[in-house]
Amino acid sequence: MIMRGKKGVILGIANKKSIAYGIAKACQEQGAEVAITFLNERFERKLAPVAEELECADRFYPCDVSRPEEIKALKESIERDMGQIDFIVHSIAFAPKEGLSGRFYDISKEAFDIAMDISVYSLIEIVRELKPILSDNSSVLTLTYYGGVKYIPNYNLMGIAKATLEMTTKYLAEDLGRDGIRVNAISAGPIKTLAAAGIGEFSFMLKWNSAHSPLKRNVTIKDVGNSGMYLLSDLSAGVTGEIHYVDGGFNIMGMPAVEINEDGKQVIAWNGEPK
C-alpha cells in the first residue's frame, strides 16, 4: 500500500461529501493512519460515524482555527496519541455571506479580515504549531479553486482569499523546503459540497464546467482524493510549491468549446449538444 506507515491529520471534513473526506478515505485505503478534526459539538455529532469508518474514533479532535488555543491543543493531542506525523491536510475556508454576493467593492473590512484569517492565515498557524511533530520528508496539502486565478461570478471575496492561499502555499514551500517539508495545493473543479452551497448559481457553474472542460464531466471527491493521496505520499517526493489542478482540464480552456451545427455555423457546445 502506498501510504502504509504514514500518519497524518486532516482538518476540514464537514460530511461524507467533503473533498477532505475524499482525501482521508483515499489515504486510509492506502494504509495511512489518519486523525480528523471537528469544528464544534454539532459537527462532532455529525462526524462521529465518519471517524468510525476511517478507524480514527480515538483520534478525533476539536479544532476551531479561529481559536489559537485549540490549534495548540490539537498539537498536544496528536503528539500524545500519534507521536510524529507525516502529513497535514488543510481543507478550511470561510467568508461571511456578504462576501459572496453583491458588489465586490462593498465588502466590509470585517468580512475581509475573517475570510483571510480562516481561509489563509490558519494554514500558516497550523503548520507553525504542528511543525515540531512533523517527520522528515513530510507533506502539507491545502485546497484552492480556479476563482483565485480568474474571475468567477459570485465567488467574490473567496476568490481573493484563494489567490492569497496559493501564494502562501508557494512561500511556505520555499521556507519549509530546507526542513524537508513539502507544501502543495489542489485546485479542484466545482463539486457539490457544503461549502459550495453558499455560492450563488452554483448549479450553473457545474453545468458550465462539465460542458467546457476537455473531459466533459465534473470531477468527484474520489478524483480529488486520489490526487491528494499522491501529493501526500512518497510518490510526490520531488514535488513542492505546486498548484495541482483536478478539474477535468477546465483550467486550460481559453474560450468555450464550439461545434458546427447543421447549417455549418459554429455554436457554443452545451453538455454535448449545440445551443
The cell for 175 is 521556507
CB–CB of 112/119 below 8 Å?
no
CA separation, residue 36 to residues 43, 124, 230 (Å): 12, 18, 19
Give the three-state DSSP class for 248: coil
The torsion angle over the Cα atoms of residues 120, 39, 73 and 69, rounded to 10 degrees, is: 60
- Give the count of beta carbons closer than 10 Å to the beta carbon of residue 175: 13
Please, which residues bridge with residue 245 across strands? Answer: 187
* Residue among 119, 197, 196, 205 nearest 162 (CA): 119
Give the three-state DSSP class for 23: helix
- Please give the positions annotated as active site: 145, 155
Whole-number Å distance between alpha carbons of 56 and 178: 31
The cell for 152 is 468567477
